[in-house]
Structure 1
C-alpha cells in the first residue's frame, strides 16, 4: 500500500549521527544547510517507482510520494522542495526518485525546480526506468545498442558497481523468465554517449555485439548526479530485489533511517510425533478429520535416527539452524508401544544442542472450538446452553505445560515464551471458527507465553493474543502428509488440476490461485522439475524482500525421501551464489523474529502518525521520535556511539535499532567519511520529455509463479 508522508512534527527523543555522502565532495556552504532525511518519490503510477517506494516502506525509510496522475496533487516548486528553518536553509528531501529522467512536459517549471534543487543541495536523483538517450548520458538504442525483451537476461555488476553501491553482490544479476508466453521485462542496453561522464554499475552483453550495455549507471552532469535505470521491473521480480538495496544506498549516500536484512528461518513441526500419509485412492489423509472412510487405517510417517544425522550434517554444510517444534507424546507413546525404546528420540536428545526447540503442545490437540467431525468439512460443536463449545482454559494450559515439563526433563534448550499450537489452533480458523478461542489468552498467560506462531496464509499481521504477540509463519507447499516425492506430486496434482483431469477443481473455483497446473505433473519428475524450483523461488523471494517471517515444514519432510532438502538447499545455495560474504542469510529464532516485527510495527505507526523528524546539518544527523520507540538506522562502517561501535555490520554498512529517549544519541562517522558539497549553479543542458516506455504484461501484472522455462 502506498503511503504519503509529509513534514513530520518534532517529538520526544533524539538520535544524532554523522552523514555518509558521495566520495570526493567537501562542504561548501557556511553555515551548512539542513537536509531532511526523507526521500521524494514522484510517481506516474508505473511499477518501477512503486517498487522503489515499497523498498523504502519495508525498510522503514521515510518518504513523501507525489502521484503525477492524482488530481489536486502538490506542485513541485522551490517552496515545495526547500525553505528556511530557524534561519537555516532547509532541503526537505535527501534524494529524489522520478519515473524517468524527465516525466514532465518540455520546458516544465517543475523539472527546472527539481534540477535547481539538486544542484544547490547536492541531492541525487534516481531515474526509476528511462529510455537510453543522450539526456540520460547514453546513446540511443539504434546507435549500436538494443531495446527489447530482457526475460532470462544474465546481467552482471561491473567493477565500479562492486566497488560502489552494489558491493554486497557477488556479481551476477539474473533476470527472471517465469513464463514462455508472458513478457516479464524490457530493457534498453546502450553505451555512454560521446563525452558523457557516465559510469555503468550493472550491464549485460548487447545481443549480436561484443560490447556491453548499461542497465544501471551513474550520470554526472550540470552539477547533478543521476542513477539511470534502463530496464522495467516490479517490486516482486528477483532482478529488482537484488538491486534494491544498492539503489537506496546510492541515493542516500549510505546513511538513512531504516534497515534491511535477508532472513531465512525454518520451523519443523511435529518432531517426535508421526504425520499421517496421503492416500492417492481416497484423495485424502486417513487419520485426518476430513477423511471420512474409517475402514482405511492411517499410515504414519516418522523420522529415523539416520534422518537426524542427515539434518545435523545439512545444517553444518549450509550454515542454517533448524527450529524443531516438538510434541512429546510422540516419543512417550512410541516407547509405550515398543518396550520402552525410541531410537529417534534418543538420537534427537543426544543432538539436542544442534537445533533450536519450540513447544508445539503435548499431543498436537486442536485447541479452538470443540470440533464436530461427523460432517465434512468439520464444524464447531454447539455447547449445551447454546453458542460455541470451546476447548477449556485448563485443557489448553495442560497441553502447553505438560510439553514444556517433558522438554525440561529431557534437557531441551527451550525458550519458554515461544509456542506453536497444533495447526495454529486456538486462533481463528475461517470459515468454521472466525474468532480466537476466548480461553486461549488465559492459558497463554498461565504459561508465560509471549510469542505464538500463526499461519501467514490466514493471519499475516502481527496481533495481540492475550499476553502474546503472533509470529506469522509462511507454509511451504511441501505437504505434511508426504514423505516421498511421488506422494507429494500425487497430492499436488489432486489439489491444483481441474476436475476433468481428476483434480479437486480448486483452481476452477479460485482462478487467482498462483500454483494452478495446466495439466498433471509427471509422478516421476514433477517434484524435481516443477515443485522444487517453484517453492525455492517463492521462499527466496521472501528472503530477498527483507521479510523476517519464518517458513514451516513438518518432520515427515525430513524422513524417507527427505523431500524438504532440495527446496531448502535451493534457497541457501541460490542465495550464496548471488551475495557476497559480508551479506549472509540471517537465521533468527522465533522470539527474535517476533521482536523485529514488533519494532517495525511501532516504527511504522510513528511514521504514519507524523511523529518522526530527521535531518542533517553538516556532519550531524538528528532524529526526533517518540520516547520508547526504537529507531532503525543504517550508517557507514566504522560509525561509533560514545566511542563504541554502532550497529552490526551487514552488506558493507552497519545498522541497528536505537531506542529514542530523553537524551540524544550521538553517532560519529569514521574520519574517512566525506561531507556533502552543494552543487554548482550551472545551467542545465537541454531536456525533453521521455518517449513512451514499454511495460510488458508480466511487469504491470506480475507473471504467475512457475518454474523457469
Structure 2
C-alpha cells in the first residue's frame, strides 16, 4: 500500500509537469483538483458531434466547441486544457467529446495533450462515432463482426448498461426505418479485442452469427476511460434520443449543470363548442372559412356524455391528465336550442376534477383583424381610410371575462392567468395579418392574463404580448374538422397528394412539405397504417427531446370515432415500453410549461454570455450565476444545498431549479459520488502514445438529413 501511494504521488507530479502546470508545493500537488463543469466538444461538422451538442444545448449544459474545420481555431494544448487557480490544479473541462477515437493526424501533439490531460485528471472521453478497431478496444469488424445498415435493428441495453449509464431504459433500443429507399443508420458491430478492458452497454445481433456486437461500450486503457459509440446518428433519431441522457450522464459522472426530462401535455380545444365537419365531396369545411359563403351545409361535431366517460377512463388507465380548453357559448347555445338541456356540460361539470381547464374565450371568436370571408382565402377587412379594421379591446376583453365567469361558476379547476384564443387569433398570422392586434395586449392586461398560447408552427419562440408570455403549442395533424377516421383520411389525401391524384397540389407548390404522399392513402387502412404511426413518431420525438411544449387537438377528435386516442395511446404505451418507472412522463399544465420555458431562456442566455461558472472540488460543487437567473443542475441522489436535499429524482439523478441572488451556490455531493482524481495510479503504462488516426466512417444520407416517415399502409 505504501509503495502504491508513493507511485501515485510521483505520477501526479510527472503528469502536472508534462502538462506545463506550476507545481507550487507538495500540498498543491496532492490536493483535490478543481474541475470546471464544462464539456469540451471537438467537432468535425458531422451529425454525431452535432447531436451531442444539441443535447447539451437543450439541457443547458455549458460546453466549448473546437471545430476542426475552422480556420484559426484554438490549438488544443496543455494550456488550453488546464492551469492553476489559487495554487490548485484546474481542469477546464469535465469531459472531452471527440468525433472518433482519434480525429488528428499521426503523431499529433493535440491528441497527446488530450490523452495526458485525461490521465492527469481522470477526465472521460466520448468517441461520438468511431470505427470498431483495437485502438477503441474492439476487434475489426472483418473478424466475425459486421459493417453496414442498421435500419430497423432492435438493439438492447446490456445488464452492465442497465446497472450503469442507461439504467432508465427498459432495454430495447429500436433503430428507425422510416423509408425503404433511404439509408438512415450505419454502424459497426464487433466484440471486444483480445485482452481489452471493454464493457458493452448497448449491443445488437451480428447478422449471420449467434453472437452480439457492441454499439456502445466503455473502454478502459492507459489510465483513461472512453465511451465508444460505433454507430452514426443525428439529434432527431429515436435511437440517439433514447441514449443521449446516458451518454451525457456517463461523461459528466452525473454531476453537471443543466437538466433533462421527458415532457408530454395535450390541450383539447373547443370543448363545449362544436367543430364544423370536412365535406368529402366539396373538399372544404362548410361553415368555415375554407368554403365559399353558402357552399355546403354545416354538419357539426360535438362530444357526448359517453365521450366524457371514455376520456376519464382513458386518463386513469394511462395516468395522464388532459387540459380542456373550453368555450362557454357552446353550452349556452346548446341549452337555448334544446329546452335548457345540455347533458355534455352537465357530465363535464360532474367530472371536472378529472381534467385541467383553460379559458378558450367565450365564443371562439377571431380576435385579430375583422375577417373578410367573402373571398378564399380570407383577408383583413379595412376601414374607409384603408387602415386595418381590428377587433376592439372591449370585444376581446368580453370574450375573456365571460368565459372565465362561466368556468368559475361551473367550478372548473382553471388558472385565471392562462388563455388560448380561438385559432390563436389576435396574434399575427401570415400572410393576411403580419402583426398582432394592437388591442390584444391591453385586453390581456385588464384581465390578468400572464400566459398566452401560440401556434408553434407559425410562432415558435416565446415572446411578450402585453403582460403575457406566449407558450407555443405543437399542432397534431389530427384535424379539427374530423370526427371519423374516414374524414381524416379523405382530408389528408386532399392536402398531401398531387392535383393529378385528386389532391390540392399543396405539395407541388411547396416541395419542402415533408408529409407529402407518393399516392393517396387507402381509405380503409390509411389512418391506422400511416397517420397514426407518423403522428406517434412526431409526438414521441418531441417527448424524447426534453421539450416541454404542449400539443393540441380538438374536442371533435374525442367524439364519434375518437380518432385522437389511437395516437395518444400509441405515444404513451410506446414510451412506457422504452423507459423504466424512474423516468416518468412529466405532464405539466400550461403556466408551469411557460415558467419552465422562461427559466430555460434566461439560463441559456446567461450561459452563452459566459455569466455562469461552476466547478467541483472533491465533494463540493460551487455554482455562480447572475442575480435573478434560476440555476439548473443535475446531481447524484443525496446531494444537498445548504443542508437540504437538492432537486427531485428523475432517471437516476436529481435535478431542479434554484434561484440565484448572485452569490455562489454550494452543493455537497454524497460520499458515494466518486470524485475526479489527479492522476490516480492505475498500474497502466502512462507513457503510451496516442493511437493512429481513426479510419473514415460511413455516414448515410438519412443521417445527414432526417428522413420523414414515408411508409404507406
Normalising by structure 1, we get a TM-score of 0.95
- The within-5 A match list for 1:605-684 is 605-679=605-679, 680=681, 682-684=686-688
Aligned to 1:530: 530
Aligned to 1:237: 237
Distance 2:171 2:31 in 1: 41
1:265 aligns with 2:251: no
Distance 1:233 1:208 in 2: 24
Distance 1:684 1:355 in 2: 63
Distance 2:321 2:131 in 1: 46
Distance 2:156 2:61 in 1: 27
Distance 1:318 1:198 in 2: 40
Aligned to 1:51: 51
Does the residue aligned with 2:231 lie in a helix, a strand or coil? coil
1:161 aligns with 2:161: yes
Task: After TM superposition, give the deviation of residue 507 of structure 1 in Å.
Answer: 0.7
Which stretch has the larger CA shift, 685-694 or 213-222? 685-694
Does the residue aligned with 2:213 lie in a helix, a strand or coil? strand
Aligned to 1:409: 409
Does the residue aligned with 1:503 lie in a helix, a strand or coil? coil
**2:43–2:68 CA contact under 8 A, matched in 1:** yes
Does the residue aligned with 1:276 lie in a helix, a strand or coil? coil
Distance 2:348 2:65 in 1: 53
Task: After TM superposition, give the deviation of residue 79 of structure 1 in Å.
Answer: 1.0
Aligned to 1:23: none
**1:533–1:707 CA contact under 8 A, matched in 2:** no
Aligned residues: 683
Aligned to 1:387: 387
Aligned to 2:705: 701
1:296 aligns with 2:300: no
Does the residue aligned with 2:30 lie in a helix, a strand or coil? coil
Does the residue aligned with 1:173 lie in a helix, a strand or coil? strand
Does the residue aligned with 1:300 lie in a helix, a strand or coil? coil
Does the residue aligned with 2:615 lie in a helix, a strand or coil? strand
Give per-residue Cα distances to partners, 1:112-148, cap 9 Å, x unaligned. 0100010011100000000000000000001111110
Aligned to 1:543: 543
Distance 2:608 2:642 in 1: 31
1:689 aligns with 2:693: yes
Aligned to 2:555: 555
1:223 aligns with 2:227: no
Aligned to 2:17: none
**1:549–1:593 CA contact under 8 A, matched in 2:** yes
**2:620–2:669 CA contact under 8 A, matched in 1:** no
- The within-5 A match list for 1:132-147 is 132-147=132-147
1:341 aligns with 2:341: yes
Distance 1:148 1:413 in 2: 54
Distance 2:641 2:40 in 1: 29
Give per-residue Cα distances to partners, 1:163-206, cap 9 Å, x unaligned. 00000000000000001110000010000000000000000111
Does the residue aligned with 1:288 lie in a helix, a strand or coil? coil
**1:177–1:708 CA contact under 8 A, matched in 2:** no
Task: After TM superposition, give the deviation of residue 82 of structure 1 in Å.
Answer: 1.0
**1:176–1:708 CA contact under 8 A, matched in 2:** no
**2:625–2:664 CA contact under 8 A, matched in 1:** no
Task: After TM superposition, give the deviation of residue 621 of structure 1 in Å.
Answer: 1.4
**2:628–2:662 CA contact under 8 A, matched in 1:** no
Aligned to 1:253: 253
Task: After TM superposition, give the deviation of residue 708 of structure 1 in Å.
Answer: 8.8
- The within-5 A match list for 1:58-97 is 58-97=58-97
Does the residue aligned with 1:482 lie in a helix, a strand or coil? coil
Q: Mind listing any 5+ residue stretches in structure 1 that lack a counterpart?
A: 1-26
Task: After TM superposition, give the deviation of residue 515 of structure 1 in Å.
Answer: 0.5
Does the residue aligned with 1:65 lie in a helix, a strand or coil? strand
Does the residue aligned with 2:129 lie in a helix, a strand or coil? coil
**2:121–2:678 CA contact under 8 A, matched in 1:** yes
1:187 aligns with 2:187: yes
Does the residue aligned with 1:310 lie in a helix, a strand or coil? helix
Does the residue aligned with 1:493 lie in a helix, a strand or coil? helix
Aligned to 1:573: 573
**2:188–2:230 CA contact under 8 A, matched in 1:** yes
Distance 2:371 2:392 in 1: 13
Distance 1:532 1:29 in 2: 61
Task: After TM superposition, give the deviation of residue 664 of structure 1 in Å.
Answer: 3.8
Task: After TM superposition, give the deviation of residue 705 of structure 1 in Å.
Answer: 2.7
Distance 2:29 2:176 in 1: 46
Distance 1:496 1:171 in 2: 37
Q: Mind listing any 5+ residue stretches in structure 2 that lack a counterpart?
A: 1-26
Give per-residue Cα distances to partners, 1:641-694, cap 9 Å, x unaligned. 233221011001100011111554332222322222223471225511111100
**2:132–2:230 CA contact under 8 A, matched in 1:** yes
Aligned to 1:20: none
Aligned to 2:114: 114
Aligned to 2:41: 41
Aligned to 1:514: 514
Does the residue aligned with 1:243 lie in a helix, a strand or coil? helix
Aligned to 2:318: 318
Q: CA RMSD in A?
A: 1.3
Distance 2:592 2:255 in 1: 25
Task: After TM superposition, give the deviation of residue 295 of structure 1 in Å.
Answer: 4.4
Does the residue aligned with 1:57 lie in a helix, a strand or coil? helix
**1:130–1:693 CA contact under 8 A, matched in 2:** yes
Distance 2:307 2:28 in 1: 65
Aligned to 1:203: 203
Distance 1:683 1:302 in 2: 75
**1:640–1:667 CA contact under 8 A, matched in 2:** yes
**1:131–1:691 CA contact under 8 A, matched in 2:** yes
Task: After TM superposition, give the deviation of residue 385 of structure 1 in Å.
Answer: 2.8
Distance 2:148 2:485 in 1: 39
**2:282–2:296 CA contact under 8 A, matched in 1:** no
